[in-house]
Amino acid sequence: MYTQALNKEVAEVESEDTEKLEAFQARIDREEKIEPNDWMPAAYRKTLVRQISQHAHSEVVGMLPEGNWVTRAPSLERKAILLAKIQDEGGHGLYLYSAAETLGVSREELVDQLLTGKAKYSSIFNYPTLNWADVGAVGWLVDGAAIMNQIPLCRCSYGPYSRAMIRICKEESFHQRQGYDLLVAMMKGTPEQQEMVQDAVNRLWWPALMMFGPSDKDSQHSAASMKWKIKRFTNDELRQKFVDATVPQARVLGITLPDPDLKYNEEAGHWEHGQPDWDEFYNTIHGNGICNKQRMKDRIRAHEDGAWVREAAQAYAAKQSAKKSAA
Amino acid sequence: MSEQATPLWEVFIRARNGMSHRHAGSVHAADAEMALQAARDVYTRRGEGLSIWVVPSAAIVANDPDEKGEMFEPTASKIYRHPTFYELPDEVANM
Q: Do B41 and A91 touch (CB under 8 A)?
A: yes
Q: Do B6 and A314 touch (CB under 8 A)?
A: yes
Measure the CA–CA gap between A28 and A8, rounded to whole angstroms: 21
Measure the CA–CA gap between A166 and A136, rounded to whole angstroms: 24
Residue B1 banded pLDDT, cuts 50, 70, 90? very low
> B18 in a domain, yes or no?
yes
By the 10 Å C-beta count (0-12 exposed, 13-18 middle, 19+ buried), B94 is classed as exposed
Q: Name every chain B residue with its beta carbon within 8 A of the beta carbon of A321.
A: 31
Beta bridge partners of B27: B9
> B84 in a domain, yes or no?
no
Distance from CA of A255 to the nearest CA of B (A): 33
- The one-digit pLDDT tens for each residue of chain A (327 residues) are 455 655 555 555 556 789 999 999 999 999 999 999 899 999 999 999 999 999 999 999 999 999 999 999 999 999 999 999 999 999 999 999 999 999 999 999 999 999 999 999 999 999 999 999 999 999 999 999 999 999 999 999 999 999 999 999 999 989 999 999 999 999 999 999 999 999 999 999 999 999 999 988 877 557 888 899 998 899 999 999 999 999 999 999 999 999 999 999 999 999 999 999 999 999 999 999 999 999 999 999 999 999 999 999 999 999 999 998 887
The DSSP element (H or E) to which A272 belongs, if any, is: strand A270-272
Instruction: From A138, A121, A140, A115, select the one nearest A69 (Cα to Cα).
Output: A138
Spell out the SS3 assignment of B22-75. Answer: EEEEEEECCCHHHHHHHHHHHHCCCCCCCEEEEEEHHHCCCCCHHHHHHHHHHH
Largest CA distance in chain A: 79
Measure the CA–CA gap between A34 and A160, rounded to whole angstroms: 9
Q: Do A91 and B5 touch (CB under 8 A)?
A: no
**A88, A314, A316 member nearest B45 (Cβ):** A88
> B44 in a domain, yes or no?
yes
**B3, B31, B65 member nearest A37 (Cβ):** B65
State whether residue B62 sits within 8 Å of chain A by CB: yes
φ, ψ for residue B51 (rounded to 5)? -155, 135
φ, ψ for residue A25 (rounded to 5)? -65, -35
Amino acid identity, residue B54?
Answer: V
CB atoms within 10 A of CB A115: 17
Q: Please report the pLDDT score of residue A189 as a whole number.
A: 97
Range of the domain at B35: 8-62
* pLDDT, tens digit (0-9, with 9 covering 90-100), for B7-27: 999 999 999 999 999 999 999
Measure the CA–CA gap between A144 and A211, rounded to whole angstroms: 11
> B14 in a domain, yes or no?
yes
Q: Please report the pLDDT score of residue A224 as a whole number.
A: 83
State whether residue B26 sits within 8 Å of chain A by CB: yes
Rg (CA), chain B: 21
Q: Do B3 and A38 touch (CB under 8 A)?
A: no
Q: Do the beta carbons of residue A158 and residue A230 sit within 8 Å?
A: yes
Measure the CA–CA gap between A86 and A63, rounded to whole angstroms: 6
Amino acid identity, residue B58?
Answer: A
**A39, A94, A163 member nearest B42 (Cβ):** A94
Spell out the SS3 assignment of A109-155. Answer: HHHHHHHCCCCCCCHHHHCCCCCHHHHHHHHHHHHHHHHHHHHHHCC
Largest CA distance in chain B: 76
Q: Do the beta carbons of residue A171 and residue A105 sit within 8 Å?
A: no
> B57 in a domain, yes or no?
yes
Mutate to test the interface with A, among B2, B11, B26, B48 (most CBs of A within 10 A): B26
Q: Do B31 and A313 touch (CB under 8 A)?
A: yes
CB atoms within 10 A of CB B16: 10
Sign of the torsion angle spanned by Cα atoms A110, A112, A115, A117: negative
Q: Name every chain B residue with its beta carbon within 8 A of the beta carbon of A311.
A: 3
* pLDDT, tens digit (0-9, with 9 covering 90-100), for A32-53: 999 998 999 999 999 999 999 9
**Interfacial A residues in 16-45 facing B (CB < 8 Å):** 35, 37-39
| CB proximity list for B81: less than 8 A, separation 6 or greater | B75
State whether residue B4 sits within 8 Å of chain A by CB: yes
> B21 in a domain, yes or no?
yes
Give the count of domains, chain B.
Answer: 1
Q: What is the pairing mode between strands B8-14 and B22-28? A: antiparallel
**Residue B25: CATH number of its domain:** 3.10.20.520
> B89 in a domain, yes or no?
no
**A87, A101, A320 member nearest B45 (Cβ):** A87
Q: Do the beta carbons of residue A126 and residue A291 sit within 8 Å?
A: yes
